[in-house]
């Protein structure tokens, strides 16, 4: 590439995908509430180091700094988007909407992780119950006491569940004063 061609590509005649990349980087960074410094740190953590001032020049420089392939791959990794999404036309969605989408996505990931942990705990409770029944079968002299303690536990558990599912809570949910149950 000649120096004249390089100058042209850095100016107003640059290919549209390069402008799209710059716009998308800024959009994704702002949607996450990150500074250029934070984005530079995330890029370094992802194995694609880039200086904070280089990010600013990509987003806002006159002329804008070009993005090399390694950096583009890093931005895709950090933002969790594909190369076509990075280089495609910018979305016509506000930063506020992007922030809400990002928040929703992060909270959904957290929820799924918590749900997995809760499912694992539920399985452990079932296994403990089975072990307790097996113990009671092996020790018939303690079976009545074990069953009595289990009934007391189940009664307490039932009362706690009844409080969580009380009709008053359902009415508050209908009025929009409580979020809907997750399950």
CATH at residue 40 = 1.10.260.40
Top-ranked range on mean pLDDT: pick from 101-105, 111-115, 176-180: 111-115
The total of structural domains in the chain comes to 1
The neighbour count for residue 89, using CB atoms within 10 Å, is: 11
User: Does the residue 160 lie in any domain?
Assistant: no
Positive or negative, the CA dihedral 26, 29, 33, 37 is: negative
Of 14, 100, 5, the residue nearest 58 (C-alpha)? 14
User: Does the residue 136 lie in any domain?
Assistant: no
User: Does the residue 25 lie in any domain?
Assistant: yes
The DSSP-derived string for 28-68 is HHHHTT--HHHHHHHHHHTT----HHHHHHHHH-SSPPP--
CA pair distance 163, 154, nearest whole angstrom: 14
Q: Which domain holds residue 50?
A: 3-87
Is the model's pLDDT at 182 over the cut of 60? Answer: no
Is the model's pLDDT at 10 over the cut of 60? Answer: no
User: Does the residue 158 lie in any domain?
Assistant: no
- Read off the pLDDT band of 57 (50, 70, 90): very high
Look up tokens 């307490």; give the residue. Answer: 156
The neighbour count for residue 24, using CB atoms within 10 Å, is: 23
User: Does the residue 102 lie in any domain?
Assistant: no
Express each pLDDT in 130-171 by its tens digit: 888 888 889 999 988 988 888 888 888 877 776 666 676 667
């Amino acid at each position: 590439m000649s120096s004249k061609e390089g100058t042209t590509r850095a100016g107003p005649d640059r290919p549209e995908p390069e402008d799209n990349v710059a716009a998308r980087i800024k959009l994704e960074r702002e949607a996450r509430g990150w500074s250029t410094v934070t984005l530079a740190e995330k890029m370094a953590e992802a194995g694609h180091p880039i200086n904070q001032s280089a990010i600013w020049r990509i987003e806002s420089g006159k002329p804008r700094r070009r993005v090399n392939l390694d950096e583009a791959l890093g931005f895709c990794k950090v933002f969790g988007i594909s190369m076509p999404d990075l280089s495609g036309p910018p979305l016509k969605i506000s930063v506020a909407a992007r922030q809400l989408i990002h928040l929703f996505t992060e909270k959904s990931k957290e929820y799924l992780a918590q749900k997995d942990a809760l499912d694992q705990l539920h399985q452990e409770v079932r296994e403990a119950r089975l072990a307790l029944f097996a113990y009671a079968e092996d020790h018939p002299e303690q079976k009545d006491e074990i069953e009595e303690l289990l009934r007391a536990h189940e009664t307490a558990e039932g009362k706690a569940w009844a409080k969580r599912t009380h009709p008053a809570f359902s009415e508050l949910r209908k009025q929009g004063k409580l979020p809907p149950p997750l399950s």
